[in-house]
Every structure is written in structure tokens, then in C-alpha cells.
Amino acid sequence: TAYAILSGLVGSEMCIRDRFGCMFTGLLFLAVIIGSIVFHVWTPWWWTDIASNWSAMDDTIILSFWIGGGVFILVCLFMVYCIFRYQYKEGRRSEYKPEDKKLEKGLTWLTTIGVVALLAPGLVVWNNYIRVPDNAIQVEVMAWQWGWKYRLPGQDGKLGASNNRIISDDNPYGLNIDDPNGKDDVFVESNELHLLKDRPVKILLRSIDVLHNFYVPQFRSKMDAVPGTITFYWFEPNKNGEYEVLCAEYCGVAHYAMRGKVVVEDKGSYNKWLSEQETFSSFTAKNINNKLNKKKLVKINNLSSNKNSILKEQDVR
Ligand code: CUA
């Protein structure tokens, strides 16, 4: 539209000079309108296939296209009309009309209806987007510079309480070790997440450093992960397949590489995958073992470097 208005101004300038300039500008305008419609219909950048319940997202965007596109076409056609209708004629004077109550009223109402139609459907969809169904599986998405990892509730269906301030090598998700709900939590320390088909998921977003945004285009849903707080939304994957995860918030030099994979599958393969993941308790136990082994190693190393050590190298001289 800005381009159209600009060429309109240039056009009226040209109209003052000659009729051909006027004709040219009018045709240019028509070309812009037709070109825009043709590109919209034949665009190579249309959405991916949808694989979730959120067709309402598509509907609201299509509605925005209709309203925005309709206004664009009307404004452009009006300017084409003006270029021809009001072109320069010797002796013709422009009319001075500082105020037109009727026109202003009409335009105000039209704009109001347009803006309401653009915003209201989005509010309705948003309301559904954050009202999570009771049978949703909780999935925690943990974003970091630069990758993803996940946490799922264990048998109890509940995620243990967490706090970013207590994140450490021993506790990569910052879980409250006194919370019994966290003991059976499942750690997915990989950028590949599996989801059950036709079962709603509640996505809980966390970030350990800066803003990120968990986005799978096929699910149509996304939200920022904000360090220090937990944001959430829900969706229901309804098509088996592998989908790419993208970070949709600029988060530093490797933002482009912050990709992952979501696999939507049936119960059998989902449960198999789930059973291969590690729980918080097994992670902690393994970690303690590693530490003990490390201590033993340190001891052995100390012994061998000790002057009185029986492992001391023989003097070759
Ligand atoms: Cu994380 Cu961009």
C-alpha cells in the first residue's frame, strides 16, 4: 500500500506534466493490483500441510488476507480512478473541502468494523489456545543456546517442581530434589521429541538463557520460552510423521542452527521410545556412580604420582 501511495504521488506529479505519464501511472497501478493477486494465488511460499487441531489459526490468517487484500485493492482502484478523473485540465480549479462530516463518519465506522474483524477472531482462538484440556500430556520444552531438550512426567503424570537457579551438571533441569513428583520424570536429552497421535499435549516452555521460541510449522502453534518463567499452550497432533522444530526468536549467532525433530506416532512405538529414555532417579544414580569412579581414578593417579608409591617408575640410571 505504501508503494501504491508513493507511485500515486509520483503519478499525479507526472499527470501535471503530460497525459502519457498519467496513462502510464494508471496502468502501473493496475499491474500492481493484478500482480499482487496473482502472486498471492500462485505463491511458492504457502503454508505447509497442517498436522494439528489448529485449523482456526489458518482461518484467522485467511480472514486477515481477505480484509487486508480487499482494502488494498479498493485503495489502489480508487487511486487509479483519481488519476484519470482529476488529471490536469487548463483552467480547472481544485475544490477546498476542509471538513466532510458524512464522509468522516462513514470512514470511521468502516475502519472500526475492519479492525474488529481483524482482531476479534484472534482473541477467541487465543482463549482456546491457552485453555488446556484435562487429558493433555505435559511436555516440558527446555530451550538453551543453542538446542532443545525435553522432560516428560513419569507414571504419576506430574512434572516435578523446578527452578532455573539450581541447574547444575548433577541437575540439568534444576529439579527440586525434595519433590516426589520429580523422581520418575523422564529426561529427553536430545533434540528429538516423540508425541502420541490424537492426544492433546500441554507444552510448558522454559529457557535457561535468553528468549527462544518453540515452533513446528505443521502444528501452527508457537510461543516464546522466557528465562525465569514458564509459558504454556496446547495442541493435538493428528497426523503421524516427522516434523522439524525451529527456533522462531532470534537468540544469538547459532539461532539458525537451533533445529530439532518431533515424531508423531501411535501408542506402540511411542511407548517403546518412552521406555528407552532416562528418568531423574536413574540419572542421579548414574551420576553418583560416575563421581565415585572419578574419585577412585583420582586416588589411583595420586598414588602413581606419589614419591613413595609402589607404582613409582624405576630409576633407569
Ligand atoms: Cu533459540 Cu533462536
pLDDT band at 316 (very low <50, low <70, confident <90, very high): very low
Higher pLDDT, 230 or 17: 230
CA–centroid distance, residue 262 to ligand 1 (Å)? 17
Torsions phi, psi for 138 (to 5 deg): -80, 135
Nearest to 181 by CA among 216, 218, 156, 213: 156
Whether residue 41 is predicted with pLDDT greater than 70 in this model: the reply is yes
For residue 142, report the distance from its CA to the centre of ligand 1, in Å.
12
Q: What's the 107 CA to ligand 1 centre distance in angstroms?
A: 42
Q: 305 pLDDT exceeds 70?
A: no
- Is it the case that residue 17 has pLDDT exceeding 70? no
Share of the chain above pLDDT 90, in %: 46
Predicted pLDDT at 187: 85
The average confidence (pLDDT) of the chain is 84
**Which pLDDT score, from 0 to 100, does residue 160 have?**
80
Q: What is the pLDDT of residue 189?
A: 86
**Predicted TM-score (pTM) of this structure:** 0.75
22 within ligand 1 shell (Cβ under 6 A): no
Question: Is there an atom of ligand 1 within 6 Å of 251 CB?
Answer: yes
The pLDDT value recorded for residue 157 is 79
pLDDT for 4 equals 57
Quickly state the pLDDT bin for 250 (edges 50, 70, 90).
very high
Average pLDDT estimate for 37-58: 91
| Three-class secondary structure assignment of the chain | CHHHHHHHHHHHHHHHHCHHHHHHHHHHHHHHHHHHHHHHHHCCCCCCCCCECCHHHHHHHHHHHHHHHHHHHHHHHHHHHHHHHCCCCCCCCCCCCCCCHHHHHHHHHHHHHHHHHHHHHHHHHHHHHCCCCCCCEEEEEEEECCEEEEEECCCCCCCCCECHHHCCCCCCCCECCCCHHHCCCEEECCCEEEEECCCCEEEEEEECCCCEEEEEHHHCEEEEECCCCCEEEEECECCCEEEEEEECCCCCCCHHHCEEEEEEECHHHHHHHHHCCEEHHHHHHHHHHHHHHHHHHHHHHHHHHCCCCCCCCCCCC
pLDDT at 11 over 70: no
- Work out the average pLDDT over 266-274: 91
Any atom of ligand 1 within 6 Å of the Cβ of 142:
no
Taking residue 101's Cβ as centre, other Cβ atoms within 10 Å add up to 7
Q: Is the pLDDT of residue 310 over 60?
A: no
For ligand 1, atom 1: residue with the closest CA: 212
pLDDT in tens, 220-235: 999 999 998 999 999 9
Distances (CA, A) of 247 to 29, 117, 173, 214: 38, 30, 20, 5
State whether the beta carbon of 39 lies less than 6 angstroms from ligand 1: no
Closest to 260 measured CA to CA, from 248, 274, 272? 248
Distance CA 105, CA 97 (A): 15
CA of 33 to the centre of ligand 1 (A): 37
Q: Is the CB of 255 under 6 A from ligand 1?
A: yes
Q: Which is more confident, 11 or 117?
A: 117
Each residue's pLDDT tens digit, 88-147: 788 888 888 888 999 999 999 999 999 998 999 999 999 999 999 999 999 999 999 999
CA of 174 to the centre of ligand 1 (A): 21
- The more confidently predicted of residues 316 and 265 is 265
Q: Report which ligand 1 atom has the smallest distance to the Cα of 252.
A: 2
**Residues 163/178, Cβ–Cβ less than 8 Å:** no
Check pocket membership of 256 for ligand 1, CB cut-off 6 A: no
Distance 288 CA to ligand 1 centre (A): 33
Distance of CA 213 from the midpoint of ligand 1 (Å): 6
Residue 10 has pLDDT above 80, yes or no: no
CA angle 249, 253, 256 (to 5 degrees): 55
Distance 249 CA to ligand 1 centre (A): 5
Q: pLDDT band at residue 13, thresholds of 50, 70 and 90?
A: low
C-alpha cell read off for 252: 544469538
The response to whether residue 258 sits with its C-beta less than 6 Å from ligand 1 reads: yes
pLDDT the model gives residue 144: 92
| Cβ 264 under 6 angstroms from ligand 1 | no
